[in-house]
A = this chain, B = another copy of it.
Amino acid sequence: MVSMNNTNNNPNNYSNSLPSDVRTLIRKGDITCQTSGMCSGYAQANLVVLPKEDAFDFLLFATRNPRSCPLLEVTMPGDRMLTEIAKDADIATDLPRYRIYEKGVLIAEPTDVSDYWRDDLVSFLIGCSFSFEGEMLSADIPVRHIEEGRNVPMYKTNIPCKSAGRFHGNMVVSMRPIPYDLVSKAVLVTGDMPRVHGAPVHIGYPEQIGISSIDRPDFGESVTIRDNEVPVFWPCGVTPQSVVMDSKPDFCITHSPGHMFITDVKNVNLKY
């Protein structure tokens, strides 16, 4: 049961809501919690906001690394309103929580970045694996971290991204344990959705991609891997954030982990 004073900030209460309704509540400050599970069937997005001087390099980085940085929308400098993936959506107010970085140092974690906005800022909305998890569940492929009510486990790897100007670094992956007899099915179901990371980048043998301890993820939480299951690794939308943080740009805004932008785009439409 949900206690009354927690109603607004339980994502499960918004699983059947429309994205525009939830964004309105977020904009008013009535929702400040994580968005996992909200607006079932609709895509959510990672956010990276950078000054124009870094925007070409970062756009090129994303173009060169589409598996980990699939772009859903990029704005012109200074534009707060989105035009493609959501209607009447203000990037500075419509995410439940943001992170502000100066030269790579986290300086604030506000629920609204209007006061930080500048005319030279370019916003990058990047696909999120929440989208393909819905497709996996529809296809009767288990998603362990959802079963266990945890954040997905994520790991730094030794897989280099292609660099672009100041941006370089290794891929971050998310891991889901998959029963041996469903691995090919999981490849095909997620491979059908390249705009939200697509097929796995690695199957089994975590040490081959530089993961020394599967029980100790670098981000998120550990999940149970059963005897009949193999760890399967997908390119993760944390990659661009990790790369941006390492490169220490003068100024950067991102979403706070798990506090995503909820789009008007149905997951099924990301297949085409």
Contacts and interface: CB of A to CB of B under 8 A. Distances in A.
A66 to B, nearest CB: 9
A135 to B, nearest CB: 18
A60 interface: yes
A69 to B, nearest CB: 11
Contacts of A162: 84
A252 B71 CA distance: 26
Interface residues of A, number: 15
A229 to B, nearest CB: 25
A76 interface: yes
* Residue from the set A56, A64, A76, A162 with the largest chain B CB neighbour count within 10 Å: A56
A211 interface: no
Interface string A34-78: 000000000000000000100110011001100000010010100
Nearest to A76: B165
A164 interface: yes
Contacts of A59: 56, 59-60, 63
Contacts of A63: 59, 63, 71, 74
A90 to B, nearest CB: 20
A146 to B, nearest CB: 28
A56 to B, nearest CB: 4
A162 B83 CA distance: 10
Nearest to A199: B272
Contacts of A64: 74, 84
Contacts of A74: 60, 63-64
A194 B66 CA distance: 13
Nearest to A56: B56
A74 B162 CA distance: 12
Interface in A73-126: 74, 76, 84
A84 B163 CA distance: 11
14 contacts: A52-B56, A55-B56, A56-B56, A59-B59, A59-B60, A60-B76, A63-B63, A63-B71, A64-B74, A64-B84, A76-B164, A76-B165, A84-B162, A194-B194
